[in-house]
Amino acid sequence: MPPITARAAILRASGSPRPYAESRPLAIETVTLDPPGPGEVLVAIKAAGLCHSDLSVINGDRPRPLPMALGHEAAGVVEALGEGVSDLALGDPVAMVFMPSCGHCSPCADGRPALCEPGAAANGKGELLSGGRRIHREGEAVNHHLGCSAFAERAVVSRRSLVKVDPDLSFEEAALFGCAVLTGVGAVVNTAGVRAGQSVVVVGLGGVGLASVLGALACGASPVVAVDLSEDKLALARTLGPVHTVNAADPGAVDQVRALTGGGADVAVEMAGSVRALEAAWKMTRRGGLTVTAGLPPPDAALAVNVVSLVGEERTLKGSYIGTCVPSRDIPRYIALYRQGRLPVDRLMSGTIPLEDINTGFDRLHAGEVVRLVVTF
């Protein structure tokens, strides 16, 4: 195979000052990729979404080994197959999943691939599940972001980071299913197990939070309450279905939610990645209710919980990673719901940009101006 090259967005130092359009933390560089090894696949990226998980690496909230090729929410086409990959074919459309699962460790064997131990270790080291790095720049190894490194024209990834998708689904739509939809809908459907008629409040209306709103509506939850600081995002939430909205900046926001839900929500979902947002979600949960968080604040963030309330009110606080999903099962299910009009995830897309505008795109994401911008190739 001839040398494989690609333009990729490389982060060499975190914590650059904003605006990123001026400091340019992400440099568009031409890298060389190793051919896919055993159990690996070369993917031509067609679309990659800008997510707060990427932003948290750029701003330093989530430390990662650098330099790193960023991007983890993407879709593309299979260009080459490594040895042993027999269930994909050249030209197959695929969505990327940011937690590869080995299929053999204790969590995987227990049906919880989101908690795969080798996958988590590989992601933490900036490597592929199969070990090592496949990206190079002038002899220097470049780290993989969550096994994907999708802000690039091409990427070599583990087969276990991919799910085949419908060929008639646009790549911009398919990309969202690998992160925003898996995490947001999954937190409601899988982690919380929301049932028809239960009340749900979602705090934080980025792409993942709005996907949680869609998931709650698809489950038949009622009432559904959306909470955010942005009036634009609250307005968007109201267009998704019968959704009540509360501005988090209102001093009486907790009381408003408790009034709308008859004393507190059965399930409160926090997606803002903020301790204050999680504290608010906890207060918005009824006695005997469930508070779920999938937000990722800085690693040193801590939450103080009133233990008497935890015990005396039989409250539950639960984390959710990738929506407690089994990607090979859930991505096709969620795409089917989208086809039926019950999960209109296309409403979450704010537009597309070229790779060259990625720093400006992250300025817009930080400012809360967009829900999901998608880089297209």
Are both 108 and 30 inside the same structural domain?
yes
Q: For residue range 226-264, list pLDDT tens digits in order.
A: 999 999 999 999 999 999 999 999 999 999 999 999 999
Are both 125 and 108 inside the same structural domain?
yes
161 confidence band (pLDDT: 50, 70, 90): very high
Paired strand residues for 42: 80, 156
Are both 86 and 214 inside the same structural domain?
no
Are both 74 and 96 inside the same structural domain?
yes
- pLDDT number for residue 299: 85
What pTM was estimated for this model as a whole? 0.96
The mean pLDDT value for 190-217 works out to 98
Q: Are strands 4-11 and 40-49 parallel, antiparallel or unpaired?
A: unpaired
Give the start-end residues of each E strand in 65-123: 68-69, 73-81, 93-96
112, two tokens: 């919880």
Whether residue 3 is predicted with pLDDT greater than 90 in this model: the reply is no
Are both 58 and 169 inside the same structural domain?
yes
* CA geometry: angle 43, 329, 210, nearest 5 deg: 85
**CATH number (domain holding residue 135):** 3.90.180.10
| Structural domain count, the chain | 2
Tell me, yes or no, whether 186 lies in a domain.
no
Are both 221 and 356 inside the same structural domain?
no
Are both 252 and 278 inside the same structural domain?
yes
Cα torsion through 88, 185, 115, 35, rounded to 10: 30
Dist CA 247 CA 228 (whole Å): 5
Dist CA 311 CA 308 (whole Å): 5
Q: Which residue has the higher pLDDT, 344 or 1?
A: 344
Are both 209 and 265 inside the same structural domain?
yes
Tell me, yes or no, whether 187 lies in a domain.
no
Which one, of 294, 328, 335, 290, lies nearest residue 207 by Cα?
294
Tell me, yes or no, whether 188 lies in a domain.
no
319 confidence band (pLDDT: 50, 70, 90): very high
Q: For residue range 52-101, list pLDDT tens digits in order.
A: 999 999 999 999 999 999 999 999 999 999 999 999 999 999 999 999 99
**CATH number (domain holding residue 311):** 3.40.50.720
Tell me, yes or no, whether 32 lies in a domain.
yes
What percent of the chain lies above the pLDDT cut of 70? 100
Are both 162 and 80 inside the same structural domain?
yes
Paired strand residues for 203: 227, 270
Range of the domain at 372: 4-180+325-376
Are both 166 and 56 inside the same structural domain?
yes
Dist CA 371 CA 377 (whole Å): 20
Are both 260 and 127 inside the same structural domain?
no
Q: State the alpha helices, DSSP H only, in the chain.
A: 20-23, 52-58, 106-109, 117-125, 171-176, 182-186, 207-218, 231-239, 253-260, 275-283, 307-312, 327-339, 358-366
Residue 208's alpha-carbon distances to 54, 187, 233, in angstroms, are: 13, 10, 12
* CA geometry: angle 223, 242, 247, nearest 5 deg: 75
Which one, of 313, 228, 234, 318, lies nearest residue 277 by Cα?
228
Domain boundary among 304, 319, 334: 319
- pLDDT number for residue 300: 87
Are both 201 and 245 inside the same structural domain?
yes
